[in-house]
Structure 1
Amino acid sequence: AVTVTVNNPVPTISDVNPGTVASPGAATVISIDGTGFAAGATVSFDADGAGTGATPQTLSGAVVVSPTQITVTIPANLLTTAGTAHILVTNPTPGGGTSGTFDFVIT
């Protein structure tokens, strides 16, 4: 028998919509566009850029719509401080990895 392992790619983010929300904001559904999104991918929200000193938090309920789109909800408690936060996507193993950060502006 031959075992073939297909490695997940490292994802990339090209756009996030909406890219800006007002603070304090209500829970907001975002659409993440990019490439290489695999089943089981997770989305992290790093509010440290918004001056909160927070560590990246994995957002629950991310839906991989296709290899080029993910939707997820950012909870209101992460949208309380104005600044630039960062969105990251991580694909599971085998292979996989984490995308570069994508800026998300809280005004």
Structure 2
Amino acid sequence: EYDKRRNIVFDALQDMEGVICKKPKGAFYITAKLPVENAEDFVRWLLTDYDIDNETVMFAPAEGFYATECMGRDEIRISYVLKEEDLKKAMNILKQGLIEYNK
């Protein structure tokens, strides 16, 4: 079940311009490098200023998961514990949000 969910998220991320990530083997999350300068600012923007049909997504900025200062500044951590349809919707919101944010 988790492999299927992981693949949904991973495949969607691979389809997003400028996003870089590795396919995890055992975790229930993916860390993805985004084409943004500061992931925390991007995540905040998603929550406060962006939606599709009154829905948005929340991700964990990855910087807090690193011991080295400034590592992960342009990365997010995406958990894939949601239902498949919810993951697909979230990945679409992320993709469209990145396009809008980087205009």
> Shorter-chain TM-score category?
0.3 to 0.5
Structure with higher Rg: it is 1
Q: TM-score under structure 1 normalisation?
A: 0.38
Q: TM-score under structure 2 normalisation?
A: 0.39
Question: Which one has a larger percent helix, Structure 1 or Structure 2?
Answer: 2
Question: Which one has a larger percent strand, Structure 1 or Structure 2?
Answer: 1
